[in-house]
Amino acid sequence: MGATFSLGRVAGIRVGVHWSVLVIFALITVGLAEGRLPRAHPGAPAWAYWLTALATAVVFLLALLAHEISHLLVAHRNGVGGDEITLWLLGGAARLHNEAPTPTAELRIAGVGPLVSLLLGGIFTLLTWWAHALRGPGLLIEALAWLAGINVLLAVFNVLPAAPLDGGRLLRALVWWRTGNRLRATEVATGAGRALGWILVAVGVYEALAGGFAGGVWLLLIGWFMVAMATVEGSQAKLRELLRSVPVRQAMSADPVTAPVGTRVQEFLSSPPWRYRHSAFPVTDPAGRPVGLVSVRQAGQVPLEERESTSLEAVMVPLGDIPTAGPDDPLVQLLPALDASPARRALVLADGRVVGIVTSSDVSRVIAWLSSTAPPGAGLRTVP
């Protein structure tokens, strides 16, 4: 589930927001400002209801963010990289660079999110009691009580044993531990996710037809998202299994043409060594070590009058922002970083030198070959 827009970084973690979060935010704000708050505390001015509702919705989204950040922090402690979070309809998703190495690690990573939501529910419950004891404003007490309840509900909902919920990860860890088969565990979790999603869709349709239109549409949306996400997760798991034993060297384009870092943009765009050959080139220092990657599009964006005076160093993507791998590394471990990279390319390095380059098209080519050469029903095998 890709982000529609970015909120920047929190503790070095990129935070994105899917458009469905705007639906949640609007529903929460309107529901509180026009429903729960006026019913519980009538007589207050309209601006007070709306201000309290907006603040409550913001705090709820911060609670969702804390839930997802906890996943990433525990993932890092268990040797799983990740630096991006996308908030969406059912809470959020943390982008991990590789899979959990063991079922126990998967259990820790998945379980910490609901625990954080449950802890937040407890904290808001204590704050509600404290505000009530001090005879605080009624709207504040009502907002705190709502936040307490919604965080507990979020924790309970997330432990349902169905992907893409945290409970689906817990189910996956259990099946993985029992069977020793990671792919089978994923199939069980995603199958449960699709089943639960379709049940929610059916209940939502029934609810809408029976007169509860708003609640029915809400359930239908949640169910539809669950089916879609579980299906994507299952497909990605099969893809990872397909590529698990394929080394990077079998997908890379070997010995790519490189461009010296001091090359001027005009020379780069017009000289035979680079012209028409590729759409992007590794940039190297005088010792031949890679320092970045430059694309023809990036170079072409330099104004004509500045191309003679602008070097590739000024327009390239620095090496630190480009995924890298060794030629014998598993290709599957490179996929998350390749997918997240704006360049859609990775450099293959050996002894500090560029020996290859991998693009999304290269990976698609390998997948096409593997899918075409594997007999129906046979086990997955690698390119010979």
Q: Which residues are catalytic?
A: 68
Q: Is the dihedral of CA 340, 345, 349, 353 positive or negative?
A: negative
103-133 and 166-179 are packed helices; what angle lies between their axes, rounded to 10 degrees?
150
Helical H segments across the chain, by residue range: 19-31, 37-40, 46-77, 103-133, 138-158, 166-179, 182-209, 213-243, 265-270, 296-300, 331-340, 360-373
Strand partners, 284: 260, 290
* 187-207 burial code (b ≥16 CB/10 A, e <16): bbbbebbbebbeebbeebeeb
138-158 and 103-133 are packed helices; what angle lies between their axes, rounded to 10 degrees?
160
Q: Which residue from 229, 215, 121, 217 is spatially nearest to 166, judged by alpha carbons?
A: 229
- C-alpha 332/C-alpha 246 separation (Å) is 8
- Residue 247 buriedness (CB in 10 A; 0-12 / 13-18 / 19+): middle
Sequence length of the chain is 384
- C-alpha 63/C-alpha 155 separation (Å) is 11
DSSP 311: B
Contacts of 282 (CB under 8 A, 6+ apart): 256, 258, 259, 290, 292, 293, 347, 354, 357
Whether 85 and 16 have beta carbons less than 8 Å apart is answered as: yes
- C-alpha 261/C-alpha 235 separation (Å) is 40
